[in-house]
């Protein structure tokens, strides 16, 4: 028996651009220039992003594979104080308009709680209704 905790952090294209801007050393470690990219595009079919630097005739496009981008995004999350499960498997999914970092933490075997149900404080009230909210995109 296993319990699986799966989390996703989604970065839209502007957020990816800002992360590259705010992480110049990490970006340089993966071959990007220490500049602010003019444009960032997702190439989902190739599993990479394309960062364009410069303007007009002096533009250069750099491709960054999902694995390298994932390392930059996770580094950014750590610096920003976002909770990242340390022992989780990490994956990056490039989609047409955003990048998703997926964390999957597998807990082998369920752990029995220290206290039996209903012995901590007062009993919770019964659920009267459930509501599902659609995410805003």
Would you state the pLDDT for residue 133? Answer: 75
User: With b meaning 16 or more CB within 10 Å and e meaning fewer, what string describes 21-45?
Assistant: eebeebbeebebeeeebeebebeee
- Token pair of 16, please? 């990816």
pLDDT along the chain (137 residues), means of 10: 89 97 94 93 97 88 96 94 89 96 87 71 65 72
Would you state the pLDDT for residue 119? Answer: 55
Would you state the pLDDT for residue 81? Answer: 93
Phi, psi for 85 (deg, rounded to 5): -65, 120
Phi, psi for 100 (deg, rounded to 5): -120, 125
Phi, psi for 73 (deg, rounded to 5): -65, -40
Would you state the pLDDT for residue 124? Answer: 61
Would you state the pLDDT for residue 8? Answer: 95
């Amino acid at each position: 028996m296993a319990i699986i905790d799966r989390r996703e952090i989604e970065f839209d294209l502007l957020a990816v651009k800002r992360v590259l801007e705010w992480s110049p050393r990490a970006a340089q470690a993966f071959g990007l220039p220490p500049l602010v990219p003019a444009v960032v595009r997702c190439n989902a079919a190739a599993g990479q992003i394309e960062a364009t630097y410069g303007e007009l005739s002096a533009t250069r496009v750099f491709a960054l594979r999902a694995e390298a981008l994932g390392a930059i995004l996770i580094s950014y999350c750590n610096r920003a104080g976002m909770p990242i499960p340390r022992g989780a498997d990490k994956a990056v999914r490039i989609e047409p308009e955003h990048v998703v970092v997926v964390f999957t933490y597998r807990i082998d075997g369920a752990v029995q709680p220290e206290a039996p149900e209903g012995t901590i404080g007062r009993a919770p009230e019964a659920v009267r209704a459930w509501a599902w909210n659609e995410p805003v995109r």
